[in-house]
Amino acid sequence: MRERVDRSSLVWDAGARVRPPSPGAATEGRDTMLFSFEGKTPRIAATAWIGPGSFVIGDVVIGERSTVWPGAVIRADFAPIRIGDDVHIEDNVVLHSGGGLTLGNNITIGHSAVVHGKTIGNWVLLGNNCTVLDDAVVEDLCIIGANALVSPRETVPTGSLMLGVPGVATPARPDQLERRRAAQQSGATRTDGYYANAMRYRAAGIEERQLWTPIPGAVGELPPGWAPRAG
């Protein structure tokens, strides 16, 4: 059984090394959990930020500058979850890997969305409370509106706006696609963007970073050019 740890000092716990909090930072309520599962271990880029109260479990890779906000659950107990760079997973989102889940780059997933789908492309916005069901594919530059439903095995074509339950996709004009691309990419650089906000939290000591090291018998390798983060 996984023991709770004293987060006021550097300790070992279930193969994970926990970084001590910043000087003067509060530690109450900082309950992020990163779990290995059946020998498969989360791999998280050094520049990513994992917020308090979130769970990351199993065969998960999270890319550069991506952020996971409080209450989110990323559960790769059946198949891998691969999350690219500059992906922002807001509060209370659920990602689950019934058949494997791949997210591209420059994606925003709004509060309380549920994603079981197979593939989410690049420059995609998934609105608050939307649902992407099993084996669905959302191609590049799509917007899935708040509360919309992407049905099982459905493919949402590149550049679509999908609204409703079940969702109905409408194609976008070329000028709209370029605006979407710019808006999603700017999240990594804007001073009021998700990543800049996450760095404010990091500076305040508000995150629970468990720095994973290789576990004997663990399945899977880091992507090319990656290495376990040093403690």
pLDDT tens-digit series, residues 34-75: 888 998 989 999 899 999 889 999 999 999 999 999 999 999
* DSSP character at residue 37: B
Q: Are 14 and 22 in contact (CB under 8 A)?
A: no
Return the higher-pLDDT residue of 2 and 77.
Answer: 77
Q: For residue 84, what are its two tokens?
A: 């690219």
In the chain, what are the domain boundaries? 28-207
Q: Are 109 and 89 in contact (CB under 8 A)?
A: yes
pTM summary value: 0.79
Q: Note the pLDDT tens digit of each residue in 150-195.
A: 999 999 999 999 999 999 999 998 888 988 888 887 776 777 889 9
The yes or no reply on domain 28-207 and CATH 3.40.630.30 is no
Sort 50 into a burial class: Cβ within 10 Å, 0-12 / 13-18 / 19+. Answer: buried
Separation of CA 122 from chain center: 14
Sort 102 into a burial class: Cβ within 10 Å, 0-12 / 13-18 / 19+. Answer: middle
Between the alpha carbon of residue 138 and those of residues 4, 6, 142, 155, 227, the distances in Å are 39, 42, 7, 6, 30
